[in-house]
């Protein structure tokens, strides 16, 4: 059996694994870059959802606030509309409608959010 003092070096060696990580990832965007901010209404009793779309051929992203964090989702092939994914999250928009799914809930699960873009007309 190891004595408690013998475990101390092991605990200190493992401590960096538990440290907070601050990571910035840079992407060189060349050519025409379009950043679009869209405001969605997602039903009674929910806060408006602000989604930022970054379109920079060949990279397309959506930044969606999910559970209090800005989540970067990347565009993937879809049959219709634009689908963005990251981890368990899927943001799918078509026209002025958008849905947020937690894919771990299954293909037939109801969306976490169903939203419609607030289009301002002059």
Fold of 32-117: Lipocalin (2.40.128)
Please say whether the dihedral angle defined by the alpha carbons of residues 85, 29, 96 and 94, taken in this order, is positive or negative.
Answer: negative
Cβ neighbors of 22 (< 8 A, separation 6 or more) are: none
pTM of the model: 0.76
Please give the residue that has the higher pLDDT: either 7 or 59.
Answer: 59
SS3 label, residue 21: coil
pLDDT > 70? residue 7: no
pLDDT > 80? residue 8: no
> Could you read off the pLDDT of 53-112 as tens digits, one per residue?
999 989 999 999 999 999 999 999 999 999 999 999 999 999 999 999 999 999 899 999
For residues 107 and 86, give the distance between their C-alpha atoms in angstroms, rounded to a whole number.
16
Kindly report the average pLDDT of the chain as a whole number.
Answer: 85
């Amino acid at each position: 059996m190891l004595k408690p003092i013998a475990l101390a070096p092991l605990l200190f060696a493992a401590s960096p694994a538990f440290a907070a990580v601050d990571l910035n990832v840079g992407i060189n965007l060349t050519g025409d870059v379009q950043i679009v901010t869209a405001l969605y209404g997602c039903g009674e009793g929910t806060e408006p959802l602000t989604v930022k779309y970054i379109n920079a051929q060949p990279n397309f992203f959506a930044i969606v606030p999910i559970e209090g964090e800005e989540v970067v989702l990347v565009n993937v092939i879809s049959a219709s509309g634009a689908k963005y994914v990251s981890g368990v999250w899927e943001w799918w928009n078509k026209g002025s409608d958008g849905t947020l799914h937690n894919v771990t809930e299954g293909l037939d699960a109801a969306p976490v959010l169903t939203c419609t873009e607030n289009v301002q007309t002059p």
